[in-house]
């Protein structure tokens, strides 16, 4: 089957290369460490696309397959007019193909490198960037590498956020509710990220937006120095100077964006209330979440079929189920507790019950290994609610089921757990987390 898939990438019509009989490959647009990006064309519709070709062997050797999988997951979650659309993912034995929206205008960096932008154009790009970032955050996605090189322009000169390879999802938060991976481009990274301490992904993205706004209007970086450590010291102190052509409204906004203390840094809702930002702004209409593609994940070699659930450490189990004490700091995994319950039913019986309950609640269901993803059909305050339930094994006769929110509004998730999940699963629950009373 792998050889058959590989043969679908072939040469036709005197060197014209096609993949899977669907897309014609054109000139190379760019190249990274593990991937090359080509201009492509849909053979049926004649639509231009960008095709990112990733060498599977290279990313596997570099232990980056999880990052590729995360990038796919993220780009499915964020469908927005100012975010590059992932149209399709295909894979062969050797390569992974991301078929994406083609941004004809290239990188915003190329435009800025020629000099500062006019205020109205810089405001337009900043509005579109802020709108896209706000949408990402509402879906639990934090980009973590915002910079002009990752902002593309389409044929209408509208901004498109790209490159979600370093982005974070809610499951990457530790128990303290913060992210801890140091990543991003130094000149655009928030001071709290550089300090290698826990940080709020949303606040870190807002800092990067502030640096980008400064660059658009100034034509150069607010924090720059030939010596990297001296540049870091400027970032840590928030030391920068405005050029003389900056108007007072812009100075006030950037002064609220580039605040060293993330707690005091302006929020996106605060940005959108600023009069300078509001000028000519209209919020674009975003699109809902797309379901995972099981065939793609199998092609990537990411789908396994274990015969039993993952093991849940007994001490971690005691800690998570007890309301009297917390042992979570003893474990490197630092599980971020969601809604947990124990059950004396077998794992297959629990899985069947979870799937049945979700369908009765009118949720779409995706079963993978010993995890059940439940996708709501109704649009909530922050999009459609998506919940993951995973079954763990503690002992031969005891299982733990953990619920976590994948996307959607937190209050809607809590309500779902309390009013829908608990009554529906009453007959398989032995005891809920933090409750001393066992169910019959």
Mean pLDDT of the chain: 81
Quick one: 86 and 140 in the same domain? no
Query: Does a structural domain hold residue 287?
Result: no
Query: Does a structural domain hold residue 328?
Result: yes
Quick one: 127 and 212 in the same domain? yes
In angstroms, the CA 311 to CA 420 distance is 27
pLDDT of residue 326: 39
- 260 sits in the region (left: phi over 0; alpha: psi -120 to 50; else beta) called alpha
Percentage of residues in the chain having pLDDT higher than 90: 36
Query: Does a structural domain hold residue 297?
Result: no
Answer yes or no: is pLDDT of 106 > 70.
yes
Flag whether 237 is marked binding: no
Quick one: 97 and 127 in the same domain? no
Query: Does a structural domain hold residue 294?
Result: no
pLDDT confidence band for 159 (50 / 70 / 90): very high
* 68 CB-near residues (< 8 Å, 6+ apart): 54, 59, 96, 165, 300
pLDDT of residue 190: 92
Report yes or no: 6 and 93 within 8 Å, Cβ to Cβ: yes
Quick one: 326 and 247 in the same domain? no
CATH number (domain holding residue 19): 3.30.200.20
Neighbours of 26 (CB within 10 A): 16
Answer yes or no: is pLDDT of 178 > 80.
no
Answer yes or no: is pLDDT of 78 > 80.
no
Query: Does a structural domain hold residue 437?
Result: no
Query: Does a structural domain hold residue 44?
Result: yes
In angstroms, the CA 384 to CA 287 distance is 10
Answer yes or no: is pLDDT of 365 > 50.
yes
pLDDT of residue 291: 47
In angstroms, the CA 94 to CA 300 distance is 9
Percentage of residues in the chain having pLDDT higher than 70: 78
Query: Does a structural domain hold residue 241?
Result: yes
Query: What Rg, from alpha-carbon coordinates, does the chain have?
Result: 24
Least confident interval from 184-188, 319-323, 341-345, 415-419: 319-323
The one catalytic residue in 145, 163, 200, 205 is 145
Q: pLDDT (tens digit, 9 = 90+) per residue, 10-28?
A: 444 445 688 888 999 999 9
Quick one: 408 and 340 in the same domain? yes
Q: pLDDT (tens digit, 9 = 90+) per residue, 236-280?
A: 999 999 999 999 999 999 999 999 999 999 999 999 999 999 999
Residue 348 backbone phi and psi in degrees, to 5: -60, -35
Burial of 364 (0-12, 13-18, 19+ CB in 10 A): middle
Quick one: 61 and 150 in the same domain? no
User: Mean per-residue pLDDT for 290-300?
Assistant: 52
User: Mean per-residue pLDDT for 108-115?
Assistant: 91
Least confident interval from 49-63, 90-104, 286-300: 286-300
User: Mean per-residue pLDDT for 362-383?
Assistant: 83
pLDDT confidence band for 333 (50 / 70 / 90): very low
pLDDT of residue 310: 65
pLDDT confidence band for 332 (50 / 70 / 90): very low
Quick one: 91 and 116 in the same domain? no
Q: pLDDT (tens digit, 9 = 90+) per residue, 84-94?
A: 998 888 888 88
pLDDT of residue 72: 81
Sign of CA dihedral 21, 27, 29, 33: positive
Report yes or no: 351 and 367 within 8 Å, Cβ to Cβ: yes
What's the 3-state SS for 68-95?
A: HHHHHHHHHHCECCCECCEEEEEECCCE
Count structural domains, the chain.
3
CATH number (domain holding residue 178): 1.10.510.10
Least confident interval from 88-97, 173-182, 364-373: 173-182
**CA dihedral angle for residue 166, residue 167, residue 170, residue 174, rounded to 10 degrees:** 40
Quick one: 368 and 349 in the same domain? yes
Q: Which domain does 263 fall in, by range?
A: 106-278
Quick one: 94 and 173 in the same domain? no
pLDDT of residue 70: 77
In angstroms, the CA 263 to CA 256 distance is 11
Q: Which of these three, 56, 81, 101, is where a domain ends?
A: 101
Quick one: 170 and 318 in the same domain? no
Query: Does a structural domain hold residue 149?
Result: yes
163 is catalytic: no
Quick one: 30 and 168 in the same domain? no
Answer yes or no: is pLDDT of 75 > 70.
yes
Quick one: 152 and 201 in the same domain? yes
In angstroms, the CA 268 to CA 279 distance is 16
Task: With CA atoms as reference, report the closest residue to 133 among 198, 191, 183, 207.
Answer: 207
Q: Which of these three, 56, 74, 101, is where a domain ends?
A: 101
The DSSP secondary structure of 378-405, one letter per residue, reads: EEEBTEEEEEEEEEEEEETTEEEEEEEE
Q: Which of these three, 75, 101, 127, is where a domain ends?
A: 101
Residue 152 backbone phi and psi in degrees, to 5: -105, 165
């Amino acid at each position: 089957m792998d050889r058959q898939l590989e043969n679908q990438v072939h040469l036709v019509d005197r060197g014209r290369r096609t993949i899977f009989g669907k897309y014609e490959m054109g000139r190379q647009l760019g190249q990274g460490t593990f991937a090359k990006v080509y201009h492509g064309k849909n053979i049926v519709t004649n639509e231009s696309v960008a095709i990112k070709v990733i060498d599977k062997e290279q990313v596997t050797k570099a232990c980056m397959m999880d990052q590729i999988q995360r990038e796919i997951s993220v780009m499915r979650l964020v469908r927005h007019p100012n975010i590059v659309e992932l149209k399709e993912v295909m894979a062969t034995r050797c390569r992974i193909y991301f078929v994406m929206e083609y941004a004809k205008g290239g990188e915003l960096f190329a435009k800025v490198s020629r000099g500062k932008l006019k205020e109205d154009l810089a405001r337009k790009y900043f509005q579109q960037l802020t709108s896209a970032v706000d949408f990402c955050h509402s879906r639990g996605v934090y980009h973590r590498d915002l910079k002009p090189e990752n902002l593309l322009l389409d044929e209408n000169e509208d901004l498109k956020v790209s490159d979600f390879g370093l982005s974070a999802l809610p499951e990457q938060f530790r128990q303290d509710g913060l992210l801890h991976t140091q990543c991003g481009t130094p000149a655009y990274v928030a001071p709290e990220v550089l300090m290698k301490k826990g940080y709020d992904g949303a606040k870190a993205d807002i800092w990067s937006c502030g640096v980008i706004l400064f660059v658009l209007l100034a034509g150069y970086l607010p924090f720059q120095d030939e010596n990297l450590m001296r540049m870091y010291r400027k970032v840590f102190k928030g030391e920068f100077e405005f050029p003389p052509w900056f108007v007072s409204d812009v100075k006030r906004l950037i002064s609220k964006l580039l605040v060293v203390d993330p707690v005091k840094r302006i929020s996106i809702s605060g940005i959108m209330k600023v009069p300078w930002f509001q000028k000519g702004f209209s919020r674009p209409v975003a699109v809902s979440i797309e379901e995972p593609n099981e065939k793609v994940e199998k092609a990537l070699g990411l789908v396994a079929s274990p015969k039993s659930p993952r093991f849940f450490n007994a001490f971690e189990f005691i800690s998570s189920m007890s309301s009297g004490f917390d042992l979570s700091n003893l474990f490197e995994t630092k599980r971020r507790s969601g809604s947990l319950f124990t059950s004396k039913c077998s794992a297959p019986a629990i899985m069947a019950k979870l799937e049945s309950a979700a369908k009765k609640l009118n949720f779409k269901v995706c079963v993978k290994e010993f995890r059940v993803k439940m996708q709501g059909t109704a649009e909530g305050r922050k999009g459609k609610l998506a919940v993951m339930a995973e079954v763990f094994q503690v002992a031969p006769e005891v299982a733990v089921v953990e619920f976590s929110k994948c996307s959607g509004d937190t209050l809607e998730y809590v309500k779902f757990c309390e009013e829908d999940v608990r009554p529906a699963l009453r007959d398989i629950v032995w005891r809920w987390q933090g409750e001393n009373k066992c169910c019959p």
